[in-house]
Amino acid sequence: MSEVKITWLGHAAFKIEANGINIYIDPWLENPQSPVKWQEIKDAHLVLVTHDHFDHTGQAKEITQQSNAILVANVETARKFGNEGLSPENIANNGYGLNI
C-alpha cells in the first residue's frame, strides 16, 4: 500500500497526496493560515469543492485551470464554475460525481 500524505492548508483546505495523485479540497488559499500561495500550485490532479461558500470554493477555478485538473463539486457549484468560464473538460461529469 502506498503512503498517503495529508497536509492542512489552513481553514478547511487540505492537500492529499497518494499514488502520485494530488487532490486539493476546498482550496481557499488566501486564508491567513495557508502555508502556500495558490499561484504556486501546478500539480493538482483533482480539486474537490464541498459546497459553494467563498471560503470553500476559494481559488478552485484558478488551480484547476493552471494545473489542467478535474474539478469535482455538486451540480450547482459545477454549473457556477462552468458559467464562470471553467472548461467542461475540467469539470467531472457536470457535477454528478466520479469514482476515484
Model confidence, pTM: 0.92
Can you give the three-state secondary structure of the chain, one letter per residue? CCCEEEEECCCCCEEEEECCEEEEECCCCCCCCCCCCHHHCCCCCEEECCCCCHHHHCCHHHHHHHHCCEEECCHHHHHHHHHCCCCHHHEHHHHCCCCC
Residue 38 lies in a domain: yes
Residue 49 lies in a domain: yes
pLDDT tens column, 61-91 = 999 999 999 999 999 999 999 999 999 999 9
Residue 71 lies in a domain: yes
State which residues form the domain around 19: 4-95
Q: Residue 61 is part of a domain; what is its CATH number?
A: 3.60.15.10
Residue 100 lies in a domain: no
Residue 58 lies in a domain: yes
Q: Please count the structural domains in the chain.
A: 1
